[in-house]
Every structure is written in structure tokens, then in C-alpha cells.
Structure 1
Amino acid sequence: MSATPYPFTKQKKFNTTNTQVRGRFAPSPSGPLHFGSLFAALGSYLHAKSQNGLWFVRIEDIDTTRVQKQAREQILEALTAFGFVWDCDKQTESQLRISDQNCLTQTQRINRYQECFEYLEAQHLLYGCECTRKEIKALGGSYNGQCKNKQLDLQTHPVRIKQVNPLHSYTDLHFGLQEAPEGLSTEDYLIKRRDGLFSYQLAVVVDDIDQGITHVVRGSDIMPLTARQLTLYQQFGMTPPEFFHLPVISGQVGHKLSKQNHATPIDMKNPKPELVKALELLGLPITECSEIERKSCAKILDWAIKTVDFSRLPKGQEILI
């Protein structure tokens, strides 16, 4: 047995007794929210609230190289302008600062990720890697484990996690059975980067475990990574949440709206038109919402919580606007 303490004893006990739906919206502060972000936020919000659940906002700023100044404030202001009200997670409340506005922030949790990293290390699941991106690309683009037995120092090299029992398929609540891309499901992926930053894969799984998330509702563009995350839950000995992937919003086929593509920010000064449009794309019968022109965004969301029916959501992985 490893002398390193199991890092999820409290969380495992909570998850075996919790019966409440717990969802989250986890934007990266790499720019202001755009319409695609709004659509994803609405999907996760309505999924949780329509089942009398809790809904958290978490700031995923683990990749500090992409963080833009003031983006966090812009994101929270936009959510408020569109009528969203998020809950405070009692599981992780002690980690919040007054300035956090009840939003868990990844860069405040580095010690927690290190603790979980050390647990994986003690289970002999990690190893250092000296391969460059150029070398991996020359081998076909998928890492083949060539550093696994070199015993490189974890302190001075990027660190990979062994995929000893990879998952090859899973069931999505919206899209059904999904076959994981072979390269993604079996690859020993990086869990700590060359610059010392922990990977998104580690941070998001630890965050979801710590917050007791029961349902992950997010865009289908992240769906290929789900198998990796499910395997990591398995390696931590934790039951994973259910996954519900939404279609992504695209301006043209194959080009989703994104911050990288410089998508237009949502209009905080006139939020109702975009809110109504997003609800329509989620399949809500907006024409049945009486006096919608007189309702505030918060009141429209109250109506949407009572009305949403996810069976009306389009089955394609992309919605063109």
C-alpha cells in the first residue's frame, strides 16, 4: 500500500449519499463570452435547475498563458446581465476568497492538484517524457510511450500518465453510445507540462470530484476527451458524473464560434435578443412565453426552467447560425 494518503475520502463519502443534481459552467478567462458560450451556459443551467439542482460557475484559468486581463470580470458580468444566478458550493467554499464571487478558481488550487498528482505518482502511474512535439508529429502525431521505461525525473520533465486500462466507449446522455478515438483513449497523455503547469485533464477531473458534480453538460467539441477523463476517474477510484454534450454553435460548417476565432462577444447592454435566440436553439417554444417583451432575462429563465424539454434539442453535433 502507498504511504501517500488517498485524496478523495471525503468526496467519495459525499458522492455516495448525495441525491441532488449538481452541474457547472466552467469558462476559461481567455476572452469575453460569445454566443456559443451562452448556449453552453444555458444548457448546463437549465439541465440542473429544471431538476431542482445546484449550478456552479468555475473559472478554468489553469492555462495561465491564455488568460486575458479583465476576462474573468467580463464573464461574470455577462452572466449576471443575462439573468444567471449561480450557487455557492459548500464542498469547496473554504477555498474561496471574497473577490471570487462564489466561483472556484483553478489557479487557487495548485496545491490540491499537486496532492492528487503525488497520489498518482505513488501508484506508479506517472513518468517523465523528453519527447518534443516535433518528434511526436514525425511519428504520426500520437505519442507511443517511448519514454515509459527511461525513469526520467518528474521534476525536470513533462509528465505523462499511463493508460493502463483505457476506456474505448461510453454513453452520452444526448448522443448515445460514443466510440472514443483510439489515439485519444490509449495515449499516455501529458498531465503536467514542460512549463510546470498542470494539464486541463487533471484539473477538470479533480475540480468535478471536489464539487460533487453529478452531470457535466458542455459542448460536443470536448466530447472526444471524455474517455480520457473517465479513465482518470477510474484511476482515482471515483464514480464519474454523467456526461451530456450539447451541439456546438457554428458560423459555418466545421467552424464553431470560439474565442480563438474572435467570435463577437455577447451584448451585455441588450441581452434579451441573444437569450431568446439561444433558448430557441435549445428547442424551447419561445412563442408560448407570454409577454416575453416585458419580461426580464431572469423571468425568462424562470419560465425556461419550467418549460425546457431536452428531447427537443437537435441531434446533430453542430448548429449553424
Structure 2
Amino acid sequence: MSENKKAAGGEHDTAPVSDHKRPYRGRFAPSPSGPLHFGSLVAAVGSYLDARSNDGEWLLRIEDVDQPRTVPGAADAILRTLAAFGFEWDGEVLVQSRRLDFYHAALVRLQLDGEVYPCACSRSEIAAHAPPRSVDGGLVYPGTCRAGLAGGRAARAWRLRLPDRTVAFDDRVQGRHQQNLAQAVGDIVLLRADGQYAYQLAVVADDAAQGITAVVRGVDLLDSTPRQIWLQQRLGLPTPSYAHLPVVTNAAGEKLSKQTRAAAVDASASNALLSAALDFLGQTVPAKVRTGSLSDLWRWAIAAWSVERVPALRGAFPGQRLPP
């Protein structure tokens, strides 16, 4: 939860502000677990406009490091949909599944520095001893293997040590946010038992490799940011600025996703859907722009974009009345 006061317990860190002297470089990083739906379109629009309105670059990354969740053909379909909506990205598209050696090198560095340790625990063993659920809804790791593997146990995963320390940062949309790492999430997995590298490691490594200076993404990832900042610091990487946009929900209050059967966006209705995305983000589109050409809509949106008008909400249903 965002707070204005220092959290009780543990040491306290405030993430350094990104060096704004560097040219702005943003990114959109969809996971190819299904087609592009309206919630993903909103995130793409917000990140794109923030980059272009700052005369910056906008990069694309396909986050398919979690191969069991990847749907064949989904990545190409997402790229075709973005192009049909008029998005123009800079440079080549980065694909995580082609960068496993890069993540391995980052993990080895942390191993050599003593920042990670092997873990032999199964999910059932963790559940039997875990404290209350974490901010992500998962289990806080109880630290069973922190002091070393018990006799006869073999490593299943590698975990990052998270200290009893509060990491704070200023989000450009949601405001001040802070989190005690040990209490909120516990030691996190960087290399899973199935051999897959964790999202937290991959996203930190890739943001640095691509020179990302500003991350604009959905607020569902707000609670992941403190541990990503900690991991950046452990790897000696720069910390970008962050802006977490409200996520789109269905009528039941559930985030739009493949799991909630979110429908794919229809590029033949690009003007209407882009206008709806802009409305959702607090940018009021004039009637004459809504009915004009797609290129005119983008020109207006880039010139008019204001991140200060984005509602500081966790989520909203399209069309509901938003606070001014």
C-alpha cells in the first residue's frame, strides 16, 4: 500500500531518481499468452504517448521468458495488431526467450556475490510453514534454506535474499509507494525448479540492456517494483522512473486477462478503441478528433498527453465515472 510515512521496522531506502539528462527511452513489454486485449492496449497507449510526448524512443519487448504460458503465434499477432493501430516502435523487437544466456550471466554474478542461495523446498513445504500471504497473493518464503540445504536435499531453485528493509520510490501516477521486502514478499525465486528464469530477473536485466529510462505499465506490477529496484541495486544497474497506470477491469472487478477471457481488440475499430483508451487514461478526446483520421488522432494524443491527468487508481471498468 502507498504510504506517506516511513514504515515501521527495518532499514529504509529511497530509490534514486533516474538521470533525466539521458534521452527518454520507454518500452512496451507484452507477454504472448494470448491476443492483445483492451487492457493491454491501454498500457501500450500510455507508454507510447509518454515516450513520444517527451521526444523519446519507444521499444518493444516480447516477454516470453515463462515458456509454459506462451501461446504459439501470439507474439506475431500482437505485433500485427499494434502496427494496425498505428504504433511505430524503434529498433528491433527484443525477445526474452532468445536471451537466456544473458539471464544466466546475471544469476551467476549474484551467486558469486553471495546474493542468492539454492532452495530445496517444494510448494507444499513452503505452504506448511509460510507466514501470511504476500502482496502478490502468493506465499512469503519462510527462509527454510537461507542458512544452507539440509542434509540429503538437492537444490530445486535459486532465491534472492531480500532484507528487512523498506524500499520507497515516487511513482508518477500512484504517488509515494514503499514496501518492506522481507515482510511483504520474502526471498524470491530467480531460477525456478522447472528451469525457467523468473520474470523479476529478466525484466531488470532487459530494462538495463535496452537503456530504459522510464517504465510506464499497469498498476498490477506496482508491488513488484520495490524488489526490482533492490535487484537493480544488487546488480549495479540504473533505476528508471516509474508510472503505474490503472488496469482495466471487467464488470466483476477482475483485471482483463486471458484468464478472465478478455476479448481481442479489433483493429477495424481503431479510432473508437484508441479514443476509449485515452478516455480511460483521463485524456478527453475532442469529438472532431474521434471521428477524424487515425493519424490525426495520434497527433492530437501526443500533443495533448499529460501523465498528471491519469487517475491514481488501481483499476476501473471502462465507462465508469472517474475522479477529476
Q: Give the TM-score range, shorter chain.
A: 0.7 to 0.9
Contact persistence 1:22–1:53 (CA under 8 A)? yes
Partner of 2:304: 307
Q: Find 1:49's aligned residue among 48, 52, 65.
A: 52
Change (3 A) 1:278 1:154: farther
Change (3 A) 1:280 1:71: same
Partner of 2:94: 104
Partner of 2:189: 190
Contact persistence 1:127–1:151 (CA under 8 A)? no
Partner of 1:11: none
SS at match of 1:45: helix
SS at match of 1:269: helix
Whether 1:137 and 2:136 are equivalent positions in the alignment is no
Q: Find 2:30's aligned residue among 27, 32, 37.
A: 27
Change (3 A) 1:67 1:303: same
How far does the alpha carbon of each residue in 1:198-224 deviate from its partner, in whole angstroms, 9 at most, with x for none? 100000000000011111100001111
CA RMSD of aligned residues (A): 2.2
SS at match of 1:23: strand
Matches within 5 A, 1:226-265: 226-252=225-251, 254-265=253-264
How far does the alpha carbon of each residue in 1:164-186 deviate from its partner, in whole angstroms, 9 at most, with x for none? 47443222111111132655655
How far does the alpha carbon of each residue in 1:121-176 deviate from its partner, in whole angstroms, 9 at most, with x for none? 11011111111111212223311211012258999521111124744322211111
Partner of 1:173: 172
How far does the alpha carbon of each residue in 1:19-53 deviate from its partner, in whole angstroms, 9 at most, with x for none? 21110000000100100000000000011110000
Matched letter for residue 131 of structure 1: C
Distance (whole Å) between structure 1 residues aligned to residue 174 and residue 20 of structure 2: 28
1:252 CA displacement: 2.9
Q: Find 1:294's aligned residue among 292, 312, 315.
A: 292
The answer to which of 43-52 and 174-183 deviates more is: 174-183
- Percent of aligned pairs with the same amino acid: 38
Contact persistence 1:120–1:126 (CA under 8 A)? yes
Gaps of 5+ in 2: 1-17, 131-138, 319-324
TM-score by length of 1: 0.85
Matched letter for residue 230 of structure 2: T
Partner of 1:117: 107
Partner of 2:144: 146
How far does the alpha carbon of each residue in 1:228-271 deviate from its partner, in whole angstroms, 9 at most, with x for none? 10000110112210110000111135411112211011002332
Whether 1:223 and 2:213 are equivalent positions in the alignment is no
SS at match of 1:58: strand
Partner of 1:6: none
Matched letter for residue 130 of structure 1: A
Change (3 A) 1:17 1:36: closer
Partner of 2:203: 204
1:18 CA displacement: 6.0
TM-score by length of 2: 0.84
Distance (whole Å) between structure 2 residues aligned to residue 182 and residue 23 of structure 1: 26
Q: Number of aligned residue pairs: give it.
A: 292
Whether 1:316 and 2:313 are equivalent positions in the alignment is yes
Matches within 5 A, 1:37-116: 37-88=40-91, 102-116=92-106
Change (3 A) 1:230 1:151: same
Distance (whole Å) between structure 2 residues aligned to residue 57 and residue 22 of structure 1: 11
